[in-house]
Amino acid sequence: MASYQSIDPDGMHKSIYEFPDHMLVASKIGESISLKKQYSGIRNVVVAGMGGSAIGGDVVRILVKNEIQVPMVVSRNYKLPNWVNRHTLVICSSYSGNTEETLAAFEDAREKGAQIVGISTGGILTERMNDLELEVVVIPSGLQPRAALAISFIPMMYLLNAMDLIGNNTINQLSNAATLLMKNRNLYAEESNNNPTYSLAQRIYKTIPVIYGETEATAILAVRWKGQLSENAKMLAYYNELPEMNHNEIVGWDNNKDLIQQLSVIWLKDENDHPRTSIRQASTRNIIGDLAGNHEVVFVEGNSLVERYLHLVHYGDWVSYWCAILHETDPTPVKKINHLKEILSEKS
């Protein structure tokens, strides 16, 4: 097989490797945020975004869930929820600044009278917000949006802090999380059987992964794994949540046995999982048994939830990368997304 360097000419390997470095850069951006406007009476928060920008909102939501005192949701759509009003903080997050759904959501937020801030590298979103004298956190360009996760989600966390919606607890744990990832990334970056992310990729790359996590916890990370496997490895992947899947999807592991033999189940596990969910996960794994092609339990180290969750993000990014290399597929281009954008542009 060709070396990863020849398969990956645009350097996705470097982008993933530098995730903890991006965290440090993003923290400096966050620390420099100085809001010029007053934001008051906020009763709920909506992050409007798609793809990598939307998952950034999900990561923030799950990391600050024990700090934030108002509801926070992520909207992946042209329209915002009907309840959005002047007491809503809408964070428009678009790495390129040209995401059409986010631009539409921005206009919808204006019509609904919401309090609006943006996070972007530039583009139309930044131009419109500057014209209206709305505040935008400008982040570095030059990355694929999915590789800019840290640069998207950490400034968002600092924005919430600047508006007194969260304290310093989660933010203070980011530095230790970056240190942990730096400790592990040299191993994860090796094209070697000693690398657990490479070994996992070898076991799943010829299958369709189904990733299971816990609702309002590792399920968000399962969404990230699914997206990265699709964009980097160009593989179909799916996710679901426990305990909900125990009430429907578990029954689907029955017919079409030849097909489901081609599925790999990836169980994302954390020490913070609800005790009953842990029992459900182990029991569901036994019930599915050898109906699936294989089962993989992924559990990573970390002294805090922030460290472990970001470790799981980084781990999954590497798994998706090595799946791409094993398929001898350049992980960077997203030709089908670009093709769709061309079609939509012609029909605008």
* One domain, residues 159 and 267: no
Domain-ending residue, one of 157, 172, 187: 172
* One domain, residues 282 and 213: yes
Domain-ending residue, one of 142, 172, 202: 172
pLDDT band at 224 (very low <50, low <70, confident <90, very high): very high
Strand order in the sheet with 263-268: 238-242, 208-214, 263-268, 294-298
Summarize pLDDT for 36-51 with one digit per residue, the tens.
999 999 999 999 999 9
How much is the pTM? 0.96
pLDDT given at position 2: 74
Residue 258 domain-assigned? yes
* One domain, residues 185 and 111: no
**CA separation, residue 60 to residues 89, 170, 197, 221 (Å):** 15, 10, 24, 12
The CATH number of residue 112's host domain is 3.40.50.10490
Do the Cβ atoms of 311 and 302 come closer than 8 Å?
Answer: yes
- Containing domain of residue 154, as a range? 33-172
Domain-ending residue, one of 152, 172, 192: 172
* One domain, residues 73 and 116: yes
pLDDT given at position 3: 85
pLDDT given at position 90: 98
* One domain, residues 108 and 186: no
Segment 254-267 shows an average pLDDT of: 97
Residue 348 has pLDDT above 90, yes or no: no
Strand order in the sheet with 44-48: 72-75, 44-48, 88-94, 115-120, 135-138
Summarize pLDDT for 262-274 with one digit per residue, the tens.
999 999 999 999 9
Torsion angle, CA of 26/69/270/146, rounded to 10 degrees? -30
What's the number of domains the chain is made of?
2
CB under 8 A, 24+ apart: contacts of 103-106: 103/128, 104/78, 104/79, 105/48, 105/75, 105/77, 105/78, 105/79, 105/80, 106/48
User: Which pair of tokens denotes residue 24?
Assistant: 């440090």
Residue 12 domain-assigned? no
Summarize pLDDT for 210-222 with one digit per residue, the tens.
999 999 999 999 9
Which residues are identified as catalytic? Answer: 231, 247, 341
Strands (E), the chain: 44-48, 72-75, 88-94, 115-120, 135-138, 208-214, 238-242, 263-268, 294-298
Distance CA 342, CA 345 (A): 5
* One domain, residues 162 and 192: no
